[in-house]
Amino acid sequence: MHKFIKYFLHVLFPTSCPVCGNLGEIACRECLDSLCFNRKIKCFECGLDYPCALHEDNAWIYYYARHWGHARELLLSLKYSNQESLGHAMGESIGAAILKDYEKLISSYDVKSVIMIPIPLHKNSKRRFNQSYAIAEGISQVLGFKVLESLSWAFDVKAQTARSGKERLELAEDVFKADFKIAGRKVIVIDDVLTTGTTLKRALSACAKAGAKGSGAIVWTKS
Q: What domains, with CATH codes, occur in the chain?
A: 1-28 (no CATH), 35-222 (3.40.50.2020)
pLDDT value of position 147:
98
Give pLDDT, residue 3: 54
Output b/e per residue, 118-142; b: 16+ Cβ within 10 A: bbbbeeeeeeeebbbbbbbbbbbeb
Angle at 154 between CA 148 and CA 160, to 5 degrees: 85
Q: Could you list the mean pLDDT of each consecutive 10-residue stretch along the chain, which spans 223 residues?
A: 52 75 88 92 94 92 96 94 93 96 94 97 90 98 98 88 76 96 98 95 97 97 95
Q: Which candidate, 181, 222, 182, 183, places its Cα nearest to that of 199?
A: 222
pLDDT at 106: 94
- What pLDDT was estimated at residue 5? 56
CA–CA separation, 122 and 69 (whole Å): 26
